A = this chain, B = another copy of it.
Amino acid sequence: MSGCFTLLGRDPASRARRGVLHTEHGDIQTPVFMPVGTRGSVKAVSPLELEELGAEIILGNTYHLFLRPGSELIAEAGGLHRFAGWDHPILTDSGGFQVFSLANLRKVERDGVRFASHIDGTRFFLGPRESMKIQRDLGSDIVMAFDECTPFPATMEQAAKSVALTTRWETMSREQELSPHQLRFGIVQGSVYPELRERSAREITSLDFDGYAIGGVSVGEPEPEQFKAVEAAEPFLPEDKPRYLMGVGTPRQIVEDVARGVDMFDCVLPTRLGRHGGAFVGNGDTLPVKAGRYARDFSPLDENCDCYACRHFTRAYIRHLMNVGEILGVRLLTLHNLHYYLNLAKRIREALDNGTFAEFRAGFQA
């Protein structure tokens, strides 16, 4: 399949782009932020709330769904959309990242990875063939190729080996059959080495995927290295295909990576921070609402926010809920933070549409 992406415009002062990604379950305005629904649920929020927040696409994690409830069960349910009650686009990762970060007893073999489940130690094998089969069962709109996520730090030799293995596995990924509606994205590796990022980008784009991700970031590297990785790979990605920066990032990083030509983002920060009592406010600052100084603060999390939490509840109330362990506290903080991220992407798109992205970017950093 081709032609899934329409480039609507470019920012004259940066590499930023404005576009639309077309999928069978609907169009996605880019730049876009994609909430993470690891196990078939974006933690603490309902599909109805996600719609009301304006989320256009969510993520599912192949590794987690493969282990529980199992991809065959989800296929039997009619696919992940029907199983999870989400009738809009879904992107699934390949499972590779989680195998490397969560599973036990990993052993990298020629055609994939042998590993033991982090839940009960059951042994499995996951490679490009298995990952594509699972993602076909899940029925996601965007399927990610199976790569090897290079850990940080890695020597140049290790990173080069990882790039080669990634190209091999993604070539195999490219050959597997998917459902006709499914788009398939390749992933560029290369760690912090610009020449490897370029090599990987050239090799992966030669496989002609529907879109391209930059992987191996948000794995512990300093922020400047993340920007450098994007800058090194981006010039070698085709302009007429969407670009996705995996697992990124803070609000400021998202703005900066948009300026470097990225269209798509996913990150667990808004949901994870919400569960731990943090609220995103202003230009990406975080407000630790459990702190004692908010005990009698009867203002909303953010005076300028119009989310459900900010329209109806105070810092003092949300602090109380978090301190006594009420689920509603986590719900309100998660809603607020997702609203923050989705609204950030919306503001970025508006700035691009209005030709004011340079000011937006400068103002956001001030």
Residues of A within 8 A of B (CB): 39-41, 43-48, 64, 68-69, 73, 76-78, 83-85, 295-296, 298, 308, 312-314, 316-317, 319-321, 323-324, 326-332
Contacts A40-B321, A83-B316 aside, 5 further interface pairs with beta carbons under 8 A come to: A40-B317, A69-B319, A77-B316, A78-B298, A327-B330
List the 4 shortest-distance A-B pairs measured between CB atoms, nearest first: A85-B312, A69-B320, A44-B327, A41-B328
A317, A321, A328 pick with most chain B CB within 10 angstroms:
A328
Q: Which residues of B contact A324 (CB under 8 A)?
A: 39, 64, 68
Q: Which residues of B contact A314 (CB under 8 A)?
A: 77, 83
Q: Which residues of B contact A84 (CB under 8 A)?
A: 317
**Nearest Cβ distance between residue A79 and chain B, in whole angstroms?**
12
Complex Cα–Cα for A34 and B330 (A): 24
Asked if B48 and A317 make an inter-chain contact with CB atoms under 8 angstroms apart, the answer reads no
Q: Which residues of B contact A41 (CB under 8 A)?
A: 321, 326-329
Asked if A316 and B73 make an inter-chain contact with CB atoms under 8 angstroms apart, the answer reads yes
Q: Which residues of B contact A39 (CB under 8 A)?
A: 320-321, 324, 326
Q: Which residues of B contact A77 (CB under 8 A)?
A: 298, 314, 316-317
**Nearest Cβ distance between residue A330 and chain B, in whole angstroms?**
7
Asked if A296 and B328 make an inter-chain contact with CB atoms under 8 angstroms apart, the answer reads no
Complex Cα–Cα for A336 and B85 (A): 16
Asked if B331 and A46 make an inter-chain contact with CB atoms under 8 angstroms apart, the answer reads yes
A64, A68, A331 pick with most chain B CB within 10 angstroms:
A331
Complex Cα–Cα for A366 and B78 (A): 37
Asked if A326 and B69 make an inter-chain contact with CB atoms under 8 angstroms apart, the answer reads no
**Nearest Cβ distance between residue A134 and chain B, in whole angstroms?**
16
| Nearest opposing residue in chain B for A72, CB measure | B296
